Structure 1
C-alpha cells in the first residue's frame, strides 16, 4: 500500500527541494529539524523540532507519518533501531542498508567486501600506524570517519610532518587514511531502487571540486561508453547488495587509463543530482519520494541535450539575500536559480544553485558558462 505521509529526518535544502515536489505526488511531508527557520519548514505540512540524532523527536515524527526517509546521515543508528523494534517504524532506506555506510572506514571495508573498486585504505589509530606503507606514500588523503561533508574533515596531506601535525591537532582520533588518486575527472551518478527491486539510474555526470567542495556539475559527463557502463554497474551492484529502498549518490574517480574507483557514497539525494530539478522530467527529489512511497518508477529523461549546475556558495559572513547578483545571473539564457532561503551566510555555506540548460552546440561551452556564473557571484571578493 502506497504511503501518503512521508517523514524526513532533516530540514535543510535537500528536504526543502523534496517538499517542493511532494504536492505533485499528492504526498504530505513532515520534517524533523533543529530550527523553525530551516529551509524545509516552509514546505512541510508539519514540523517536529529536534536535532537530527534526537531519537525521541523521531519517535514523535513516526506517529505522524507512514514511512521515514532521510535528508542526511548524521543519525544515531542504534537509537533508531530501538524504534523499529518497539514501534515498528519503517525507515527507507532501511537501517540495515545504512549501517555499513555511515562510518567512512566501514564504508570502505564494505565496498571492498562486495568487490567494488576503491583506493587503497587503512586506519590511523596509533602512533605506529604512521610507519605503515600507506602513510609513507605522499600525497595521501586523511578523512574523519563520521560527520564530514562539503570538504570538512578531509585533508590532502603532502608529507609526514603535515600528517602528524593534523592528527595531533585533533587529538589523535581514529581516522581513515587512503591513497591519493591522480584522477583525470571526478564523476558521480544518482541511482534509485524501490521495494520491488526496480533500479533506475540517472546520467553519469562530471563534478568539479575546489578544496573538496563541489563548485559545478556537467550533465552528462563527456566520457566513453565503457566508462559509463562501469559506473552504472557499480551503482546497480551497490543498491542491489544493500537492498536499498531510496536514492543514493555515488562519487567516483576516473583515471587516465579509464579505471573507475568509488570515492564516497551518499545514502540520499546529493548535490551532484541538483541539475535534475530543471534538466530532467523526474528530479532526484521526486524519485526519492517515489521509491519510499511505493509509487511506480519511470526512467528519467533529460529535457535538454545537457546542463551545467553551479553552486552558489557563501564567501563572507553576512545576512544578505544577494538579490542583485541573482538577478544578474538570471539574465543568462535558459537559466534557473534555486535560492534556499537561508537567513545567514558564511564562507562555504551552500546558499543556492543555478542550472543552465544547454543545446548540443552549447555543450562544449559548459565550463565557460560555469566560470561566467562564478565570476558574477564572486565579483565583490577582493
Structure 2
C-alpha cells in the first residue's frame, strides 16, 4: 500500500519539524491537536482541533489518512484500542507503546529483555531503606523536568508524595553518572534498523540544554549502545523512530534511563548535521519506505535549546538574527506565542569542523540568548 497521508496525534514542534521531510517524500500531514495556535497547525494539510486523547477525534483523523503516528506519548491506549481492532493502522502500534508509556512498566520491560537500568521500585513497594539522594518520577506525563525530582532527604520525599497524592510515582537510585548520552534509532515494518551517532546531552534541572554530536566515547561503547538500541527495537517489533537516553557510569558501563517512542529533542541536530533527519526517518519508517543514511555531514555538531527565561509575548527576532549570523548555524523557531521559564521556544544547531570546540560555540550561543 502506498502511504500518502500520515495522521499525527499532537501538534507541537515535533510535528512542525516533520513538514519539510513530508514535502520531500510527497506525504501530506493531518494533525490532531487541541489549539489553533499550536505550532504544527500552520503546516498541516488539515487539522482536527481536539485533545490528543479524544478517541472520537482520532477516529475522524483515521478516515483522512493511511496511517496514524504520535508526536508525544500522552495518549490513552485503552480509548484507542477499539480503533486498532477496527483496522486503524497505528505506527508504532498500541502493543509497542503499551510497555513504554508508564515509566515503571518501561523499566520492568527493559529489565525483562536484559537491558541494564538503574535500581527502581514503585513508591508503594519500596521494601528497604534507600540511600539519599534518590530520584522520584511521575510514572505518566512527565517531560522536560516536570514530574522528576532529586530528593535529598526523607522529609522532602514525604512532602512531595503528600503533595502529589493522586500521582503514581517511580523511585529510582540516583546514578552518579560520568555523562548523559542518547541515541536515536529507527525500525521499519520489514525489520530494517538504523541508528544515529551516539550523542552527549547536557541537562540542567532535568531539562536538556545542549546536545553534542558525536559523543566523546570509545568505539567499543558506541557499538554497545547501538547494539542495545537495536535489541530494544527488535524485541518491541517497533515501527518508527525512538529516542533512548542513557547514563554512562565509569568508563564502560551504561544504564538506560528512559525511552521516548517518537522523535526526540536529542535528535534535533540531525535536521542539519545528518544526511537524513530523524523526522524524515520517522516518516520513512511509518510509510514503509527504505530507511535513509544516518551519517554525519560534518565532523561534529552542537545543538542548543532556546529555552524561555521570562514570562513574555516576544518573538525574539533580533536575537534569532544574531544567532543565524553565526558561521554554520541553523536556527529553528517553534512559533509559540508566549514564553515562560524553561519552555522550549526553538533550537540552534551549529556544524563544527574537527578543530572547533563545541563548548565554546555553546557558550557563544547562550551568551546571545540569555543575556
Query: What TM-score do the two structures reach when normalised by structure 1?
Result: 0.95
- Mapped to 2, the partners of 1:117 and 1:275 lie a distance apart of 27
- Mapped to 1, the partners of 2:224 and 2:55 lie a distance apart of 39
2:83 corresponding residue in structure 1: 83
Say which SS state the counterpart of residue 177 (structure 2) adopts: coil
Residues 32 and 51 of structure 1 are in contact (CA less than 8 Å); yes or no, is this contact kept in structure 2? Answer: yes
1:352 corresponding residue in structure 2: 346
Unaligned runs of at least 5 residues, structure 1: none
- Mapped to 1, the partners of 2:346 and 2:242 lie a distance apart of 21
1:286 corresponding residue in structure 2: 280
Q: Which residue, 358, 364, 369 being the options, matches 2:361?
A: 369
Q: Give CA-to-partner distance per residue, 1:21-80, whole Å, 9 cap, x none.
A: 201000000000001111111111010111011111100000000000010000010111
Residues 125 and 173 of structure 1 are in contact (CA less than 8 Å); yes or no, is this contact kept in structure 2? Answer: no
Say which SS state the counterpart of residue 17 (structure 2) adopts: helix
How much does 1:297 deviate?
1.2
- Mapped to 1, the partners of 2:307 and 2:212 lie a distance apart of 17
1:55 corresponding residue in structure 2: 55
Query: What TM-score do the two structures reach when normalised by structure 2?
Result: 0.98
- Mapped to 1, the partners of 2:277 and 2:58 lie a distance apart of 27
2:110 corresponding residue in structure 1: 111
How much does 1:172 deviate?
6.3
Residues 2 and 295 of structure 1 are in contact (CA less than 8 Å); yes or no, is this contact kept in structure 2? Answer: no
Residues 151 and 213 of structure 1 are in contact (CA less than 8 Å); yes or no, is this contact kept in structure 2? Answer: yes
Q: Give CA-to-partner distance per residue, 1:267-306, whole Å, 9 cap, x none.
A: 0000000000010110000000000011111232211111
Matched, 1:297 2:296: no
Residues 10 and 70 of structure 1 are in contact (CA less than 8 Å); yes or no, is this contact kept in structure 2? Answer: yes
Q: Give CA-to-partner distance per residue, 1:222-277, whole Å, 9 cap, x none.
A: 00111111211110011000000100000000012420000000000000000000
Residues 39 and 342 of structure 1 are in contact (CA less than 8 Å); yes or no, is this contact kept in structure 2? Answer: yes
102-111 or 251-260: bigger deviation? 251-260
Matched length: 371
- Mapped to 2, the partners of 1:276 and 1:164 lie a distance apart of 42
Residues 197 and 295 of structure 2 are in contact (CA less than 8 Å); yes or no, is this contact kept in structure 1? Answer: no
2:33 corresponding residue in structure 1: 33
Say which SS state the counterpart of residue 111 (structure 1) adopts: helix
- Mapped to 1, the partners of 2:277 and 2:251 lie a distance apart of 32
35-44 or 8-17: bigger deviation? 35-44
Say which SS state the counterpart of residue 65 (structure 1) adopts: coil
Say which SS state the counterpart of residue 32 (structure 1) adopts: strand
- Mapped to 2, the partners of 1:273 and 1:2 lie a distance apart of 27
Unaligned runs of at least 5 residues, structure 2: none
Residues 201 and 299 of structure 1 are in contact (CA less than 8 Å); yes or no, is this contact kept in structure 2? Answer: no
Q: Aligned Cα RMSD in Å? A: 1.0
Residues 20 and 43 of structure 1 are in contact (CA less than 8 Å); yes or no, is this contact kept in structure 2? Answer: no
